[in-house]
Amino acid sequence: MKTITYINLNNDLTGSVQVLLDVIRICQKNSIGTRTYISSGTCDQEINTLSKLKKIRRLKILGNLFLPFDFLFSQLYLFFKLVLNGESKKTDMIVVNTILPFAAALYAKLFSVKLCYYVHEVSVNNKLLNSFLMYVMNHTADKVICVSRFQMQYLNFPLKVCVSLISNSVRQDVALAASSFDYLNKIRDRFNVYLISSLRSYKGVDEFLMIARMFESNFGIKFTLVANEEQSVVDNFKVRNSIPENLEIFHRTSNISIHYKAADLLLNLTNPRYCIESFGLTVVEAMSFGIPVIVPKHGGVAELVHYGVNGYHADCSELDRIFSMIVDISTNKSLRNSLSENAKNISRAFSHEKYERKLIDCLSK
């Protein structure tokens, strides 16, 4: 039986971790052995997704990704952990999730283990670190999995690297909830505009607050922010910011479908000056519920939207355009229903079944 070792430095509810969770489950379903190295986790244990996995070896590594010394220490720890465990003799392939765990890539190269990078980003914020991580990936990877055409073109891999395009899929639990949901006939007291993201400034949280304030006199529209953060972080955010009365904020949840069912429109306000989205998992999942979306003009997330068909493109700096789009969608039922039907149809291209076939084909080679 083939065995694959997965390396991941986060253990929370971010998109890359959710995708890895699906990958491991698919491998186990297809009789592929899995071994997984994860961090100690950055969220409450009950929703610490990778910690819930069964039939895998959960070897935890240490480190805070936001502190350089801790990050470097975590990589040294990971490298020697792989050496001490004799990982090269127990696995057929190492899959590095995101570009961060460079120690695993160096180990694979040194001990002649086949290496696959599963890339979810186009860069990290620290330019020097980003250059180093890209250099390591380009010189160690046997194959790379990308999630969008934009990402493939942007990263411009050397010819010797086998690159596969495998777009993320709607998770099975989300797809199941979406299959029985009727957006067109839902009962709504107020039009609900959603943002689902972390509270990092480049995610457009400040702009979302500004947009909500622009609608404070419009009692037919409300705003909801679902923050991928613990309750304490959300509470601190509320203290530091003036929250409009028409805006409600929730902390992270393992059951995101309850929010998709409540949403009438989903915004992605990531600032392209600081971060370009390589994909948009929440966007695809929202579309599976028939929710129209507004996304940035650039990046992999822009590929998910056909302008005026299932949503619109607008950057976070274009607040007046976004304001007008929200007004149009909320007041024009015919437009809203058309966008909704198209969103649901387009989301079918990102089914879990298609994703599983492409993934197994890639990892089996």
Tell me the pLDDT tens digit for each residue of 305-327.
999 999 999 999 999 999 999 99
Q: Binning pLDDT at 50, 70 and 90, where does residue 121 land?
A: confident
- Out of 13-17, 48-52, 257-261, the most confident range is 257-261
Within-domain flag for 363: no
- Which residues span the domain enclosing 34? 3-165
How do the residues of the chain divide into helix, strand and coil, expressed in percent and rounded to 5?
A: 45, 15, 40
Whether 356 is in a domain gets the answer no
In which band, very low, low, confident or very high, does the pLDDT at 12 lie, cut at 50, 70 and 90?
low
Separation of alpha carbons 354 and 349, rounded Å? 8
Tens-place pLDDT, residues 66-98: 567 778 888 888 899 999 999 999 999 999 999
**161 and 213 co-located in one domain:** no
* One domain, residues 198 and 300: yes
**Residues 198, 288: one domain?**
yes
Q: Which of 17-21, 42-46, 212-216, 330-334 has the lowest average pLDDT?
A: 42-46
Average pLDDT over residues 119-139: 90
204 dihedral zone (left: phi>0; alpha: psi -120 to 50; beta) = left
% of the chain at pLDDT higher than 70: 91
- Answer yes or no: do 261 and 278 share one domain: yes
23 and 159 both lie in a single domain:
yes
Query: What average pLDDT does the segment 26-42 reach?
Result: 80
- Residues 345-363 have pLDDT tens digits of 999 999 999 999 999 999 9
Task: Please give the DSSP secondary-structure letter assigned to residue 29.
Answer: H
Q: What angle do CA 201, 11, 130 make, to 5 degrees?
A: 55
Q: What is the structure's pLDDT at 40? A: 58
What is the C-alpha to C-alpha distance for residues 63 and 246, in angstroms, rounded to an integer? Answer: 38
> What is the pLDDT averaged over residues 89-111?
95
Res. 58: pLDDT tops 70:
no
Res. 194 pLDDT band, cuts 50 70 90: very high
Cα first-last separation, the chain: 14
Using the predicted structure, report yes or no on whether residue 60 has a pLDDT greater than 70. no
CA neighbor of 65 nearest in space, from 121, 145, 139, 144? 121
Give residue 320's identity as a one-letter amino acid code: D
Over residues 240-269, the mean pLDDT reads 95
Q: How far is CA 299 from CA 72, 172, 346, in A?
A: 29, 25, 18
359 in a structural domain = no
Q: What is the pLDDT of residues 212-238, one digit of tens each?
A: 999 999 989 999 999 988 899 999 999
d(CA 287, CA 301): 12
Give dist(CA 193, CA 267) in Å, integer: 7
Phi-psi region for residue 134, left (φ > 0), alpha (ψ -120 to 50) or beta? Answer: alpha
**Cα dihedral 104/2/41/262 (nearest 10):** 120
- Diameter over CA atoms, the chain: 65
Instruction: Please check whether residues 197 and 241 belong to one and the same domain.
Output: yes
Number of domains the chain is built from: 2
* Closest listed residue to residue 172, CA positions, set 18, 277, 12: 18
Q: Is residue 362 part of a domain?
A: no
Whichever domain contains 132, its CATH number is 3.40.50.2000
Sheet holding 33-39, edge to edge: 58-61, 33-39, 3-7, 93-97, 114-118, 143-146, 162-165
pLDDT band at 44, cuts 50/70/90?
very low
- What's the predicted TM-score (pTM) here? 0.88
Enclosing H/E stretch for 4:
strand 3-7
pLDDT-based confidence at residue 124 (cuts at 50, 70, 90): confident
Q: Residue 284: what are its φ and ψ, rounded to 5°?
A: -65, -40
114 close to 94: Cβ distance less than 8 angstroms: yes
